[in-house]
């Protein structure tokens, strides 16, 4: 089969994924599997080989990240249900200062979104943002955008959020390196989006005292100064206990990556062996889960822990299936000549690391989900990394982040997060397009510029 026909089949498969998820509203798990089956059969792979590739790709992907996604989601849900996320937010505000409360909201969003989904994070923290905006007599636009973009940044760049985890697994990137470089990329994004939020807040005023929870700007009760502390009680976790389930796994994973470098800073004895075991992402995240269990059981009781686990697994299940289906699609692509043909031709375009960025951008804009965009793009790009000149551990980590950068934009009406941000901050849909959707472009372009600079210096 000619390369042109294979490329046409790949384009058709991507179009089917976008149409099926965005227009027909079919679950991405089913759409990705059907796309994998269809591509394999039409590309001449044969029924048996197609099924074998799907089973192998699905199982291999889940074997690598299934536990990680489930554990990370459990940690996030426990922090949400126990009040730990609110504790972290208040601690960051005390550290940064109320005079810089909008900046504090941006940093808070970035920290909270590492384990907590950005949709949930915005819902949890929006009352705090409204109260701080009211006290500062500022526009809700400033605080909503700062919080929303802080949440979005780590959602697409820093594991154990499912998207970056899935992308790293598919590309074979080191998760510890993705965490470290993801934080590096996040920092300029936070600065740029904070400045953007202040700029737009000075131009567009939404009275925070007239923003109702989950509603629009109209007729709600004024937000009082005490609202951020309304949820406080003696049975919330301490600041240290709230941060520990997130911080410990990240530190262990990072130490594992350092121990595995050629420099071998910890030698080759028991220290390295221990760090390799504890720093395995599966073990590190499970350690975070049990710490979160202990903290929550001590402060809120066993019932809250059990409820959080049940809720988390119901959330993690679909994500794990979607990720596995993306792995199945990638396995089918690798079994066909399309990867060789694409590699030979893409090598001539000199797009390099910009190709995964542009592909993720197109898929995200078309169908709305950052996670689906990351999974789909990683499945397509994984067989092409050699042809694109992206083969070293650092290059693979940066490729993962480039996909995340593309998946951040453009968020609009087909993205559930768009509606969460607008409805909980009093924006009309028109304001959402003008203010929030544009902010996601800032996230994507600034992060991609940072990633490109990193490819030149690392």
pLDDT over 70 at 213, yes or no: no
pLDDT of residue 222: 36
> What are the b/e assignments for 208-233, b being 16+ CB within 10 Å?
bbbbbeeebbeebeebeeebbeeeee
- Average pLDDT over all residues of the chain: 84
**8 Å CB contact between 440 and 156:** no
Whether the pLDDT of residue 2 is over 80: the answer is no
Residue-level pLDDT at 265: 80
- Average pLDDT value for residue range 337-346: 70
DSSP 210: G
Packing angle of the helix pair 239-259, 270-278 (nearest 10 deg) = 120
Contacts of 85 (CB under 8 A, 6+ apart): 79, 112, 116, 121, 124, 125, 242
- Confidence band for 429, pLDDT divided at 50, 70 and 90: confident
Predicted local distance difference test score (pLDDT) of residue 90: 83
Q: How confident is the model at residue 343 (pLDDT cuts 50, 70, 90)?
A: low
Residues contacting 406, CB < 8 A, separation 6+: 356, 357, 358, 359, 360, 361, 362, 363, 364, 373, 377, 444, 448
Domain that holds residue 303: 3-457
Does the pLDDT of residue 227 top 60, yes or no? no
Total domains present in the chain: 1
**How far is the C-alpha of 428 from the C-alpha of 431, rounded, in Å?**
5
394 pLDDT exceeds 80?
A: yes
pLDDT (tens digit per residue) in 59-83: 988 887 788 888 888 888 888 788 8
* Per-residue confidence band for 335, with pLDDT thresholds at 50, 70 and 90: confident
136-156: per-residue pLDDT in tens?
888 999 999 999 999 999 999
Q: Which of 104-118, 168-182, 269-283, 344-358 has the lowest mean pLDDT?
A: 344-358
pLDDT tens column, 25-59? 888 889 889 999 999 999 888 999 999 999 998 99
Copy the structure tokens of residue 140.
């809700």
Q: Give the pLDDT of residue 395.
A: 95
In the predicted model, what is the mean pLDDT of residues 97-121? 84
For residue 450, CA distances in Å to 183, 372, 402, 445, 457 come to 11, 23, 10, 9, 11
pLDDT for 226: 40
SS3 category, 62: helix
């Amino acid at each position: 089969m000619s390369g042109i026909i294979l490329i046409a089949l790949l384009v058709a498969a991507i179009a089917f994924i976008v149409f099926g998820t965005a227009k027909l509203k079919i679950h991405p798990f089913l759409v990705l599997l059907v796309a994998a089956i269809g591509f394999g059969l039409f590309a001449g792979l044969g029924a048996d080989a197609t099924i074998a590739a799907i089973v192998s790709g699905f199982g291999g992907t889940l074997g690598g990240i299934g536990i990680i996604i489930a554990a990370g989601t459990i940690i996030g849900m426990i922090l949400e249900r126990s009040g730990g996320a609110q504790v972290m937010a208040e601690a960051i505000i005390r550290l940064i200062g109320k005079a810089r409360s909008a900046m504090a909201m941006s940093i808070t969003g970035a920290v909270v979104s590492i384990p907590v989904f950005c949709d949930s994070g915005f819902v949890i923290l929006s009352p705090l943002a409204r109260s701080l905006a009211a006290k500062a007599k500022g526009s809700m636009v400033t605080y909503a955008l700062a919080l929303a973009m802080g949440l979005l940044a780590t959602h697409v760049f820093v594991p154990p959020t499912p998207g970056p985890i899935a992308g790293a697994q598919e590309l074979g990137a080191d998760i510890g390196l993705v965490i470290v470089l993801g934080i590096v990329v996040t920092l300029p994004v936070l600065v740029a989006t904070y400045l953007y939020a202040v700029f737009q807040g000075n131009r567009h005023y939404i009275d925070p005292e007239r923003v109702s929870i989950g509603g629009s700007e109209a007729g709600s009760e004024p937000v009082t100064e005490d609202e951020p502390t309304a949820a406080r009680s003696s049975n919330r976790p301490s600041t240290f206990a709230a941060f520990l389930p997130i911080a410990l796994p990240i530190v262990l994973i990072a130490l594992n990556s350092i121990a595995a470098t050629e420099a071998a800073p910890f030698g080759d004895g028991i220290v390295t062996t221990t760090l390799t075991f504890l720093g395995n992402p599966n073990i590190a995240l499970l350690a975070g889960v049990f710490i979160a269990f202990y903290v929550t059981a001590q402060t809120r009781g066993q019932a809250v822990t059990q409820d959080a686990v049940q809720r988390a697994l119901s959330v993690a299940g679909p994500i794990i299936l979607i990720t596995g289906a993306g792995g199945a699609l990638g396995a089918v692509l690798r079994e066909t000549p399309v990867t060789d043909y694409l590699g030979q031709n893409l090598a001539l375009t000199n797009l390099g690391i910009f190709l995964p960025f542009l592909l993720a951008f197109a898929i995200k804009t078309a169908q709305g989900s950052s996670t689906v965009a990351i999974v789909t793009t990683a499945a397509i790009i994984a067989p092409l990394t050699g042809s694109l000149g992206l083969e070293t551990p650092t290059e693979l980590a940066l490729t993962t982040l480039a996909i995340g950068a593309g998946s951040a934009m453009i968020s609009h009406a087909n993205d559930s997060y768009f509606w969460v941000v607008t409805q909980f901050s009093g924006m009309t849909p028109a304001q959402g397009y003008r203010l929030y959707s544009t902010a996601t472009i800032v996230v994507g372009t600034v992060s991609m510029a940072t990633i490109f600079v990193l490819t030149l210096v690392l």
